[in-house]
Amino acid sequence: MSKCTAFILSKTEIITNAHCVAGAPYVYVVAGTKVASDENQKIKIKVEKENIAWHPHYSRLIFGAFDIAKVTLKTPLEFSDTVGSIELVDKDYKLNDPSEVVTAYGYGVLNNIGPMILRRCDANYISDANTSKLSQTLYFTTGEARNDGKIITPGDSGGPVVSKTNGKIVGIIVGINGTGDGRGAFLPITLFLDFIRDPKSVKSLPPPLAPNEAKFIADIMAPAKFVTAYKPDYDDADEDLELKFNAIILSKTEILTCAHNVHGASYVYVIVNKLSSNPTKIKVTKDQIEIHQKYALSGFAFDVAKITLKEPLQFNDNVGSIDLVDKNYKLNDPSELVTVYGDMTLDGTMRTRRYDTKYLNGAICKPEYGAAFDANHLMCYTLDESMGTPFTFGGPIISKKNNKLVGMTIFRSRGKPVIFQPIASLLN
């Protein structure tokens, strides 16, 4: 049974990390003890899963993402000299003064062994500039390293980060980000006040698509050990491993995807009817894969590949094609809505969804990506990261106006707009 830290908001409200409780049929809440591993705890309350709520946008696959949960006690705690509550900062509070000292509390262990003794550590904090500017930001504790050279240690997850200035909770510990210097990572609590007040008030994700809603989307399964724009990532890859990407069905024999999804692969599998219980998996060899001749590993433009199937697909209610816009179509109305389709990871699993967004012209996106971004051939769209982290590369972008394919998702870097390739210029 794993153990995490938590903090008491009221006699019936306990806050901890989602990764500490998500999926558990029950948990125990232990209060009023200095040693968490003490078997003689005076207060130990069993809480069933119906009284455990974790943030609907939490993802096990993304470190720190919406990693918060609320446990509601049926029987109120008895407050005493060793059991009490602590206040949260209000919604207008900003973590924007790096000279401010915060105190992290937790039952973390030293040297990865017990006992789990309640400790505290003062530190300053810094923002992680690489995280999302839209929905959440990770902060790392700094200052003199303690706890055997680490600010945060195993077991501290879910613990409170308290301001030395006002004595209120400003963050929740989510763990160690593997930075090498042992910095602890925490989320600002102000981002989750609505969830803490009422977990049901937070909007859930759009539901996963049904097979017939995604009939024109395919998947590409490629061997992990192949040359891509990120070749170093795969140098030691397991040859039996497969990577999954999105693709688009253009006709019974034509599949469209990103060049970087298939570049260098001796074969790939095309999977259609991907959302059904009986998908079709077709092996395609490299002689059936054509990559745009202007595609370069060093950039994002012309990142498109066409796969030609030897045997035509059988179209049905769950497998079909999508129409292309014509060559004169221009994406020149920033108020126009487009629908992005593809795999999104947020609730701990990868599911195929869609969401509407507006697009931006290339000139706006270029400063975000620099020389690798060709503003003459690429555009981007904004992403509300509360909708999840997209693994949509190769997925379709469809106009809400004419219901035709206008673009294909190419790439994203966390906290930046998502790059896409307009289709009209690629029709030839």
Q: What is the pLDDT of residues 66-97, one digit of tens each?
A: 899 999 999 999 999 999 999 999 999 988 88
**Alpha helices of 229-329 — where are they, by DSSP H?**
231-234, 259-262
Distance CA 71, CA 50 (A): 9
Q: What CATH number has the domain bearing residue 18?
A: 2.40.10.10
Report CA torsion sign: 18, 19, 22, 25: negative
31 with 120, same domain? yes
In-domain check, residue 38: yes
Residue 298 lies in a domain: yes
Q: Which domain holds residue 131?
A: 7-190
Quickly list DSSP for 88-150. Answer: BP-TT-----TT--EEEEE-PPBTTBS--B-EEEEE-EEE-TTS-SSS---EEE-SS--TTT-
The per-residue pLDDT for 382 is: 76
The alpha-helical segments, DSSP class H, found in 181-258 are 193-197, 231-234
> Does 114 map to a domain?
yes
| 199 inside domain | no
Residue 363 to residues 369, 413, 426, Cα–Cα distance (Å): 11, 17, 20
218 belongs to a structural domain: yes
Does residue 218 sit in the same domain as residue 360?
no
Closest CA to 85 of 11, 165, 5: 11
- 292 with 235, same domain? yes
Out of 141-155, 228-242, 288-302, 356-370, least confident range? 228-242
Residues 102 and 62 in one domain: yes
The structure tokens 């505290």 sit at 120
Residue 173 and residue 72 in one domain: yes
Number of neighbours of residue 316 by Cβ within 10 angstroms = 12
Q: Do 13 and 74 belong to one domain?
A: yes
Contact 273, 282 (CB under 8 A): no
Verify that 402 and 301 share a domain, yes or no.
no
Q: Are residues 47 and 131 in the same domain?
A: yes
User: How far from the centroid of its chain's Cα atoms is residue 211's Cα?
Assistant: 23
pLDDT confidence of residue 396: 95
Q: Which of 190, 225, 248 is the last residue of a domain?
A: 190
Inform me whether the pLDDT recorded for 288 exceeds 80.
yes
CA separation for the pair 283, 410 (Å, rounded): 23
8-state DSSP, 319? B
Q: Quote the Cα angle for 107-112-116, to 5°.
A: 25
Nearest Cα neighbor of 304 from 414, 421, 412, 187 is 421
| Averaged pLDDT, 46-55 | 94
Same domain (yes/no): 139, 59: yes
Q: If DSSP states are collapsed to H, E and C, what string results for 35-75?
A: ECCCCCCCEEEEEEHHHEEECCCCCCCCCCCCCCEEEECCC
The closest alpha carbon to 383, from 408, 405, 349, 360, belongs to 360
Query: Do residues 171 and 242 both lie within one domain?
Result: no
The pLDDT tens digits for 132-191 are: 333 346 676 654 444 444 567 778 899 999 999 999 999 999 887 554 455 678 899 998
Same domain, 73 and 141: yes
Q: Would you tell me how many other CB atoms lie within 10 Å of the CB of residue 200?
A: 8
The stretch 116-138 carries a mean pLDDT of 66
Confirm whether 313 is domain-assigned. Answer: no
What is the structure's pLDDT at 364? Answer: 80
Phi, psi torsion values for 211, nearest 5 degrees: -55, -40
Say yes or no: 237 and 181 in one domain.
Answer: no
- Report yes or no on 57 lying in a domain: yes
Task: Tell me what pLDDT residue 422 has.
Answer: 93
3-class SS string, 366-388: HHHHHHHCCCCCCEEECCCHHHC
Question: How many domains, the chain?
Answer: 3
CB atoms within 10 A of CB 74: 9
Final residue belonging to a domain, choices 158, 190, 222 = 190
β-strand 52-54 against 169-176: which pairing, if any?
Answer: unpaired
